[in-house]
């Protein structure tokens, strides 16, 4: 099937709207990093064309703040490029402001609310250890 895994880990105490928002943003980052993950456009029987979707399933996990911090550090230690969303980005309203507030933090003090990665299956499993399937 796939020798890679695409996983998103969300902070478990976020309101649902924030979980959905963060998931959308993090997914776009993985699609930008791995454009080959996007398949062909969809077409219905009436001939209407729809956007292509990811060819690979996405695993959505949840974790507490401490576990998310550990997962973040594991990605850095292993050199895995991720999509990362920090709590302070909820207070901004556009991309440049998101990047500015993101740049104010280092890995040790970032309040990570979501992280997405795509890498070898076994590596993703090791990195995300401690997270659980999202309910």
DSSP codes, 11-80? ETTS-HHHHHHHHHHHHHHHHHH-GGGB-PPEE-TT--EE---BSS-EEEEEE-HHHHHHHHHHHHHHT-
Q: What domains can you pick out in the chain, each with its CATH number?
A: 4-133 (3.40.1490.10)
> pLDDT tier at 135 (50, 70, 90 boundaries)?
confident
The CA distance from 121 to 59, in Å, is 11
pLDDT band at 1 (very low <50, low <70, confident <90, very high): confident
Model confidence pLDDT, tens digit, residues 76-123: 999 999 999 999 999 998 999 999 999 999 999 999 999 999 999 999
């Amino acid at each position: 099937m796939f020798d890679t895994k695409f996983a998103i880990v969300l902070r478990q105490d976020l309101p649902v709207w924030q979980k959905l928002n963060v998931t959308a943003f993090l997914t776009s980052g993985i699609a930008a990093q791995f454009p080959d993950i996007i398949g062909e456009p969809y077409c219905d029987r009436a001939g209407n064309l729809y956007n292509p979707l990811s060819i690979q399933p996405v695993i959505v996990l949840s974790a507490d703040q401490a576990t998310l911090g550990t997962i973040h550090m594991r990605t850095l230690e292993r050199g895995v490029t991720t999509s990362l969303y920090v709590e302070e980005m909820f207070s901004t309203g556009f991309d440049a402001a998101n990047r500015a507030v993101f740049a104010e933090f280092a890995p040790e003090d970032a309040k990570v609310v979501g992280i997405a990665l795509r890498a070898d299956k076994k590596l993703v499993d090791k990195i995300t250890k401690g997270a659980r399937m999202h309910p």
